Amino acid sequence: MRVHFDEKADAIYMRLDESKIVESQEVQPGIVLDFNEHNQVVGNETLRVKDRVPQANLKQMQFEVA
């Protein structure tokens, strides 16, 4: 999995695997899901991140595996 935050675009992208993206769908305003040929979600883009989580420090991200 890869996560990329583009500060200039104010967008965060999470890529779950490297399969080919064949379709993208905006499921809510500013939330875009990418699908592969098996209709599985392989990516998620969130736009206007600073508006959605104004207190977040996006220069440092923590992940937890349960």
- The model's pLDDT over 7-54, given as tens digits with 9 standing for 90+, comes to 899 999 999 999 999 999 999 999 999 999 999 999 999 999 989 887
Pairing mode, strands 11-15 and 41-47: antiparallel
The CA distance from 58 to 10, in Å, is 10
The CA distance from 37 to 13, in Å, is 20
Q: How far apart are the first and last CA of the chain?
A: 16
Closest to 43 measured CA to CA, from 22, 17, 66, 63: 17
The structure's pTM equals: 0.84
The CA distance from 65 to 33, in Å, is 22
